[in-house]
Amino acid sequence: MSLKKLFIKTYGCQMNVYDSERMAEAMGGEGYDTVSSPEEADMILLNTCHIREKAAEKVYSELGRYKGLKAANPDLKIGVAGCVAQAEGAEIMRRQPMVDLVVGPQSYHRLPDLVSRTHNGAKALDTDFPEEDKFEHLNARPKAKRGPTAFLTVQEGCDKFCAFCVVPYTRGAEVSRPAERIMTEARDLVERGVRELTLLGQNVNAYHGHEGGLAGLIRQLATIDGLERIRFTTSHPNDMDDALIAAYGECEKLMPYLHLPVQAGSDKILKRMNRSHTRDQYFALIERLRAARPDLHLSGDFIVGFPEETEEDFRDTLDLIETVKYGSAFSFKYSERPGTPAAERPQVPEDEKDDRLYRLQALLKTQQQELQDAMVGREVSVLFEKAGRLPGQMVGKSEYLHAVHVTADGIAPGDLARVRIDASGPNSLSGVLEPR
């Protein structure tokens, strides 16, 4: 049987990256090999993101680009997966009739079957939230060698219903994968060369597939020989329990970096966002985390121009950032999402949003650079991932997730070494290996 060719384009978050890998593996069992350009493909799959309007619109402009390919090759199959598929369903096929199949994030295990139903111009659609665990029904991951870092989804969905967010609608209710299955997948990844795992979940710290919660899972994962580093993302402040805070002080393999979005710094806006905590509660939590792990680097997400956000509310966000000091952060203009409560409220004018985003990002950038510059002279641990651009140079990540460049002989991807930082550039650090 000649191999068919599959091109997957992934948008959005790390969970989509993981899902795309799993779909590629599942389709591998159906005789599909992945390729890196749509022109070569027999099947194109877009794994989409619906979090902001721009992300969703990208899907339609990308589909527009495939018109010529479909005209030249009527057997080419085009599929839309991910959160736009879940949110818009059959509407996608109405807007772009060349789309053959639409599959929501909880139905990926049915992908091979859906593809087989698209012969002779038939369309296939599945946006169910089935009872069965899709990961158990997806083909096992093949035994190929892998790079030193990998994502592993442990939890999906969200019950928090922040007033701006589509995730509870597109990914559904919170579901945790059983710890034993995660352990099996993790051991397998480590056998294939993975040394650092990032556990993924929309609300990862609400994980309850282990009797000890996420902290229990992390401690169990830490017993795997050869697994050197564990990270997790994304967390909600209200699910940061005592055991997880303690793990930062006690579990050596848990890296001192935490993505803990707060979204806004004004109590009024936090309340209207339905975040269920105040700014002081967030500060108190960070104090406890830093007591457990004083060198913890924090990362956050911020939304500017949420409905009814005034200049004063916005300044509260700037003030919160000044107080916390973030090692990295993601920031966005509020984007109206159909079906979410905030979309119905009085909106902040676009030019105000632009202005606030500009000021917010300037502050975050300065802060980030200061924290990065403060690493000069310090010793960090680096997990090397790949060759750098200069001859003999290797690039890896510090425990704090800084990119670190080192030029030295004999370093290979997957090596973990102590590095003394001697310079800080715009986006990365560089340093020299410490003698062993």
Judged by beta carbon distances under 5 to 8 A according to partner kind, the member of ligand SF4, ligand 5AD, none in contact with residue 51 is ligand 5AD
Q: Which two tokens stand for residue 49?
A: 């993101």
Judged by beta carbon distances under 5 to 8 A according to partner kind, the member of ligand SF4, ligand 5AD, none in contact with residue 236 is ligand SF4
User: Binding to ligand 5AD by residue 303, rule CB under 6 A?
Assistant: yes
Q: Which residue type occupies 432?
A: V
Whether the CB-CB separation of 202 and 235 falls below 8 Å is answered with no
In angstroms, rounded to a whole number, what is the distance separating the alpha carbons of residues 176 and 267? 31
- Residue whose CB is less far from ligand SF4, 47 or 235: 235
Kindly tell me the number of DSSP H helices and DSSP E strands found in the chain.
15, 19
Q: Which segment (83-91, 161-169, 357-365, 410-418) binds ligand SF4 by CB under 6 A?
A: 161-169
- Per CB under 6 A, the list member of 12, 82, 148, 168 interacting with ligand SF4 is 168
- Per CB under 6 A, the list member of 167, 190, 197, 262 interacting with ligand SF4 is 167
- Per CB under 6 A, the list member of 16, 86, 335, 381 interacting with ligand 5AD is 335
- Residue whose CB is less far from ligand 5AD, 129 or 161: 161
User: Binding to ligand SF4 by residue 160, rule CB under 6 A?
Assistant: yes
- Per CB under 6 A, the list member of 337, 356, 397, 405 interacting with ligand 5AD is 337
Binding mask 144-173 for ligand 5AD (x = CB under 6 A): --------------------xx--------
Look at residues 115, 142, 114, 116 and name the one whose alpha carbon lies nearest to residue 128. 114
Residue the block writes with tokens 């000649």: 2
User: Binding to ligand SF4 by residue 111, rule CB under 6 A?
Assistant: no
Using the 8-state DSSP alphabet, how is residue 263 labeled? Answer: B
In angstroms, rounded to a whole number, what is the distance separating the alpha carbons of residues 149 and 244? 22
4 φ, ψ (degrees, to nearest 5): -90, 160
- Residue whose CB is less far from ligand SF4, 123 or 160: 160
Helix ranges (H only) for 30-174 are 53-65, 67-72, 82-88, 91-95, 111-116, 134-137, 167-170
Report the site for ligand SF4 in 114-153 (rule: CB under 6 A). none
Nearest residue (beta carbon) to ligand 5AD: 301
Judged by beta carbon distances under 5 to 8 A according to partner kind, the member of ligand 5AD, ligand SF4, none in contact with residue 154 is none
Binding mask 37-56 for ligand 5AD (x = CB under 6 A): --------------xx----
Q: Which segment (29-37, 157-165, 352-360, 404-412) binds ligand SF4 by CB under 6 A?
A: 157-165
428 φ, ψ (degrees, to nearest 5): -155, 170
| Start-to-end CA span in the chain (Å) | 52
Report the site for ligand SF4 in 243-302 (rule: CB under 6 A). none
- Which CA distances in Å does 160 have to 55, 184, 226, 301? 22, 29, 36, 16
Judged by beta carbon distances under 5 to 8 A according to partner kind, the member of ligand SF4, ligand 5AD, none in contact with residue 300 is none
Binding mask 190-219 for ligand SF4 (x = CB under 6 A): ------------xx----------------
Judged by beta carbon distances under 5 to 8 A according to partner kind, the member of ligand 5AD, ligand SF4, none in contact with residue 47 is none
- Residue whose CB is less far from ligand SF4, 357 or 421: 357
- Per CB under 6 A, the list member of 26, 165, 197, 348 interacting with ligand SF4 is 165
Residue the block writes with tokens 């680009």: 65
Helix (H, G, I), strand (E, B) or coil at 181: helix
Angle at 62 between CA 354 and CA 6, to 5 degrees: 135
Contacts of 209-213 with CB under 8 Å at 24 or more apart are 209/154, 209/155, 209/176, 209/177, 209/178, 209/179, 209/182, 210/179, 212/243, 213/241, 213/243, 213/244
In angstroms, rounded to a whole number, what is the distance separating the alpha carbons of residues 317 and 282? 12
Report the site for ligand 5AD in 203-262 (rule: CB under 6 A). 261
- Residue 47 CB, nearest distance to ligand 5AD (Å)? 16
User: Binding to ligand 5AD by residue 301, rule CB under 6 A?
Assistant: yes
Rg of the chain on CA atoms, in Å: 22
Beta strand 257-259 pairing with 297-304? parallel
Q: How many CB atoms lie within 10 A of CB 121?
A: 7
Q: Which two tokens stand for residue 207?
A: 């994980």
Residue numbers at the binding site for ligand 5AD (CB under 6 A): 51-52, 164-165, 261, 263, 301, 303, 332, 334-335, 337
Residue numbers at the binding site for ligand SF4 (CB under 6 A): 158, 160-162, 165, 167-168, 202-203, 236
